[in-house]
Amino acid sequence: MKRMLLTISYDGTAYHGWQVQPNGITVQETVQNALCGLIGVRPALTGCSRTDAGVHARKFCCHFDCDDKFPEKAFLRGLDSLLPPDIAVRDCAEVPPDFHARYSAKGKTYCYYILNSRCRDPFAARYSWKIEQELDADKMNTFCSGLVGRHDFAAFSSAGRSVEDTVRTVSECTVTRSGDTVILKVTADGFLYNMVRIITGTAVGVSFGKIPPDATRDIINSKNRAAAGDTAPPQGLFLEEIYY
């Protein structure tokens, strides 16, 4: 047996997140079905993250074990042909037997995209949060800068999280504007359930004057979800990069 690292991209609009669920189609299930059709067995597929329903990934990694005779050269094209148009194969490579798509990751980068305009954009509707009121990137950056470092991010996680340890290290958290698009970028060694979406919703609340820009430390120290802002909708969130 050998372990393979599969890298894909996907539009999460039609899926109930990554992980297999009994109540809806997921990315994991769809990729497993395609792998089964290609290699004749349904392998266990372990992902690098558990993206929520409607969340997208420009780069998503997962691993599976297969027979040593696995035809690597023909695999990419064959798997791609069995997947729907909203999931694409980017790469597949053999990795050491002890490699783990989730636990071997050193960090991840997420970006949240906001369409900050009074006009609708039919090409951005599935991939951004539309906000008409002008956002103040300077205020948002003041808030975001306070998140950098090693902190307990319990206040920035929904109650449905599956882990007890809520301490994470954020190495970057910035807000930039390009025309009508505002992008919040976060890089960390790991993320809690809904963490980036809550950070984004809180940053928007800061811009609107609902939360002081310098309240970051107080929110962190509270360890109380109610102290942070709203949870941003899923469609603006993209998993951009995984670091191994």
**Percent of the chain scored above 70 by pLDDT?**
97
What average pLDDT score do residues 35-55 get? 92
Distance CA 173, CA 111 (A): 10
What are residue 2's DSSP bridge partners?
66
pLDDT in tens, 114-123: 999 999 999 9
Domains 2-95 and 107-243 share a fold: yes
Q: Which residues are part of the catalytic machinery?
A: 52
pLDDT tens track for 172-185: 999 999 999 999 99
Indicate whether 80 pLDDT > 70: yes
What is the tens place of the pLDDT at every residue in 193-227?
999 999 999 999 999 999 999 999 999 999 999 99
Give the other-Cβ count within 10 Å of 106's Cβ.
Answer: 9
**Structural domain boundaries of the chain?**
2-95, 107-243
Top CATH class, 2-95: alpha beta
Fold adopted by 107-243: Alpha-Beta Plaits (3.30.70)
| pTM, rounded to two decimals | 0.94
Query: Which residues lie below 8 Å from residue 209, measured CB to CB, with a gap of 6+?
Result: none
Q: Are 34 and 83 in contact (CB under 8 A)?
A: yes
